[in-house]
Chains A and B, each alone.
Chain A
Amino acid sequence: MAVANTEHEQGVHPSHVARYALVWVALLVLTFATWGLSRYHIPGVWGVAVALGIAVTKSALVALFFMHLWDQAGANRLVFATSLVFVALLIVIVLSDNATRFPLANPPGSEGALPVGATDYQVAPLSAPRGAGHER
């Protein structure tokens, strides 16, 4: 280790073994934490909030230390941060649209695609045109 560090004085890149190991242990601990907490069935929206909070923490660890955003040029951080902004925009806007609609205006899911009685898997002859029913 010591030898490696003096070599890196010349500026290739510093040794990160301890950092990687620490992040790995933290990721394992958080994985077990999210699994353990899910067994308590935290009520309402808090369950998914806790799960997503832990997932965001874990992914921040991966992005900052495994992917080296912690000590990299600003442009790379900006690109990644921008993509995250657009992820948030997409999910928040789409979700708030559906959440604030008159309930019956929401999409019926695959309801239209399924005949009454739920299963057309074996019943349907292969030649029958079923494109129209599938789309709706």
Chain B
Amino acid sequence: MSEATGIAVPSFLAHHFESLEKQQHAARLGMWLFLATEVLLFAALFAAYAVYRYLFTAEFAEASRHLETWIGLVNTIVLVTSSFTVAMGFEQAGRGNGKGTRLLFALSVLLACVFLGFKYVEYAHHFHAGELPGRFYTSREIAGPGGPLFFTLYFLITGLHGIHVVIGMTVLAVVGLRAGRGAYTREYHVPVELAGLYWHLVDLIWIFVFPLIYLV
């Protein structure tokens, strides 16, 4: 596949780009612009978290103790490892080994399933304990508005992050399958790179969620 460069490369080049290199730079820059907007989306939630943690310091510390720290720790390890396997999948794509990319991306999707499984266990526990956002908070453990606020932010931040995990899994699965079918070459595998970038961002956000939500 990669030997037939003369045939393979022009088919990837869109007509409005001068060269494949410029096309790849544009794709990468576009992805980074999108990731910047994602960072800002989460920043709004973290700003709300900062304000209410400042105003309800004791309640937030108390509410955080109602979370299973070990689940947060295990999920952090799972996500960091999945980021590593995605990076290795990209490495394989760089060698023109689409099957290797498919295997490593499949492993990452599997790790993401483990992550969501633990998330389900956690959410189920909170639903049973009545630790829900706002006026749905029925637990009597924490007095005042601090408890409901913590769980509002908990569900908003981890929920939005969870949606990103599901989107990331889908992207990895689609790109991984295409890579396995030989859709990309050693010279052109930008989709693999961009899918990886999205997954690393999901990991990056969780890196902040873990200490801020679980280790107050």
Q: Which residues of A contact B (CB under 8 A)?
A: 4, 7, 12-13, 15-17, 20-21, 23-24, 27-28, 31, 34-35, 38, 51-52, 54-55, 58-59, 62-63, 65-68, 72-73, 75-76, 79-80, 82-84, 86-87, 90-91, 94-95, 98-99, 106-111, 113-114, 118-122, 134
Contact = CB atoms under 8 A, between A and B. Distances in A.
A95 B39 contact: no
Given A79-B32, A94-B51, A110-B135, 13 more contacts: A15-B94, A21-B84, A35-B215, A62-B83, A62-B200, A62-B203, A63-B200, A90-B43, A108-B145, A109-B144, A119-B138, A121-B136, A122-B138
A35 B73 contact: yes
A34 B29 CA distance: 33
B105 to A, nearest CB: 14
A15 B44 CA distance: 37
Given A90-B47, A109-B55, A110-B149, A76 B211 contact: no
Nearest to B142: A118
Which of the four size classes fits the interface of chain B?
Answer: 35 or more
B208 to A, nearest CB: 5
Contacts of A34: 210-211, 215
Contacts of B84: 20-21, 23-24, 27, 66
Contact of A94 (B35, B50, B149): B50
Contacts of A80: 32, 35-36, 39
Contact of B39 (A17, A27, A31, A87): A87
A66 B69 contact: no
Contacts of A108: 145
26 contacts: A7-B95, A20-B91, A21-B84, A23-B84, A24-B80, A24-B81, A27-B83, A28-B80, A38-B69, A38-B211, A51-B215, A59-B208, A66-B84, A80-B32, A80-B36, A86-B40, A90-B44, A91-B46, A94-B47, A95-B47, A109-B149, A110-B149, A118-B140, A121-B130, A121-B135, A134-B134
Contacts of A21: 84
B52 interface: yes
B119 interface: no
Nearest to A120: B135
Contacts of B83: 24, 27, 62, 66
Contacts of A28: 77, 80-81
By secondary structure, the A interface counts as helix
The 8 closest A-B pairs by CB, nearest first: A109-B145, A83-B36, A38-B215, A51-B211, A24-B84, A87-B43, A111-B145, A79-B32
Nearest to A16: B91
B12 to A, nearest CB: 14
B135 A134 contact: yes
Given A12-B186, A72-B28, A110-B134, A58 B43 contact: no
Nearest to A89: B43
B87 A20 contact: yes
Contacts of A95: 47, 50-51, 54
Contact of A12 (B40, B43, B187): B187
